[in-house]
Amino acid sequence: MALSDILVNATLETIENMAFMEVVKSDKTTPYDEHLVRLRLEILINKPFPGEMRLVLPMDLAIQFTKNMYNLTEEEITEDLMKDVLGELINIISGRLMADLIPGDQTFDLGLPLIGPDVFVQAEASSLAVEFDAEGVPFWIILFGDGFQESAARIDQA
C-alpha cells in the first residue's frame, strides 16, 4: 500500500471517529493564502527513524473539531482545550500511521505535539503533503523524512 494511502486512512478514521466530521482526500490543490489564520501542529518521530508530521489547518476548522469532540458552543472553547484536542488528533493520526508502517514486533517513539501559528516555509527535506477536505474546508498533513517512504516500500515488498 502506498504511503499516501496509509496516511489518508489514518487521517480519515481518526477525524471521522473523534470529530464526527466527514473528511475526504481532496482532488484539488488549494493555493496558499497568507491572509487565512492557520495553526500548525508538529510531532516528531524519534524511532525507528527520524521524521516529522505536520497538521496545518484553518483556525475555524480547529474550533469546529473542538466543538464536535466536546459538544460545546464556540463561546465555551478555550485555547488550552483546543490545543489539547489538536494535540490528541495529531498524536493518534501519527500513532496509527506508524503502527501501519512498521512491523508488529517493532516499536516507535513519538515526541510531544507542538502547536503554533502556521508560517509558510519551503523545506529541502524529503516530504509528502496530502490535502484533505473536512466538510468544504481544506487542511493538510505533511510528512518529512525519508523513513516514511522507506517503511512503505518495505511493506510493498513483503
pLDDT(119) > 70: no
Pairwise CA distance, residues 3 & 5, whole Å:
5
What number is the average pLDDT over the span 97-113?
94
pLDDT(156) > 80: no
Band of pLDDT at residue 122, cut at 50, 70 and 90: low
The closest of 137, 96, 78 to 13, measured between CA atoms, is 96
Q: pLDDT, tens digit, for every residue of 54-64?
A: 999 999 999 99
Q: pLDDT, tens digit, for every residue of 44-103?
A: 999 999 999 999 999 999 999 999 999 999 999 999 999 999 999 999 999 999 999 999
Sign of CA dihedral 56, 58, 64, 66: positive
The closest of 130, 122, 127, 139 to 38, measured between CA atoms, is 139
**pTM given for the model:** 0.91
Band of pLDDT at residue 116, cut at 50, 70 and 90: confident
| pLDDT computed for residue 36 by the predictor | 77
**Residue-range definition of the domain harbouring residue 55:** 3-157
pLDDT(121) > 70: no
For the chain, the domain total comes to 1
User: How high is the mean pLDDT of the chain?
Assistant: 90
C-beta atoms surrounding 93 within 10 Å: 23
Which CATH number covers residue 124?
3.40.1550.10
What number is the average pLDDT over the span 24-45?
86
First-last CA distance in the chain: 11
| pLDDT computed for residue 23 by the predictor | 95
What number is the average pLDDT over the span 110-121?
84
